């Protein structure tokens, strides 16, 4: 296990789509372990392989330390609720920047485990928001794109000022 360097905003790599995982082997398990270590070091509650410059569809989320991290390979949203919810979001690629984003309150997800087993799961609340956020990143959609132009510009000014 190792902590990997996180790609920082506005690097163009954050706009790249990730390829599906087709081989479920030791390399995939090592990637997942490295993502867990990197997420803990960031710190964050979610990370994708894209955040470390690996363009494979792998997500790690850990909302409660006592439950441990969860690994999702090739996650795909099958359906989403019409009801929306708002949570504050940010990114390990843009430390310190946080803004409220509105997303569907519940989703039906299909994914694979690190051994390739296909699973489906209903998610709601903050977990549903986190999964949608990370799947966006796998598709090359950085979370800022989900903000209104006004919110995005205000956040970027504030974030850039804090980086000086």
Catalytic residue annotation: 134
Residues 23 and 56 sit within 8 Å (Cβ to Cβ): no
* Separation between Cα atoms, residue 103 and residue 160, nearest integer Å: 26
């Amino acid at each position: 296990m190792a902590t990997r360097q996180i790609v920082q905003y506005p690097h163009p790599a954050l706009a790249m789509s990730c390829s599906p995982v087709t081989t479920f082997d030791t390399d995939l398990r090592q990637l997942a372990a490295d993502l867990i270590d990197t997420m803990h070091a960031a710190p964050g509650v979610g990370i994708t392989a894209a955040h470390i410059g690996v363009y494979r569809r792998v997500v790690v989320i850990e909302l409660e330390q006592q439950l441990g991290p969860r690994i999702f390979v090739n996650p795909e949203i099958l359906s989403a609720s019409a009801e929306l919810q708002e949570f504050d979001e940010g990114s390990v690629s843009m430390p310190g920047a946080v803004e409220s984003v509105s997303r569907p309150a519940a989703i039906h997800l299909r994914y694979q485990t690190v051994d390739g087993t296909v699973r489906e799961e209903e998610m709601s609340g903050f977990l549903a928001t986190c999964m949608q956020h990370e799947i966006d990143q796998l598709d090359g959609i950085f979370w800022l794109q989900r903000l209104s132009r006004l919110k995005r510009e205000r956040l970027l000014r504030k974030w850039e000022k804090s980086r000086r």
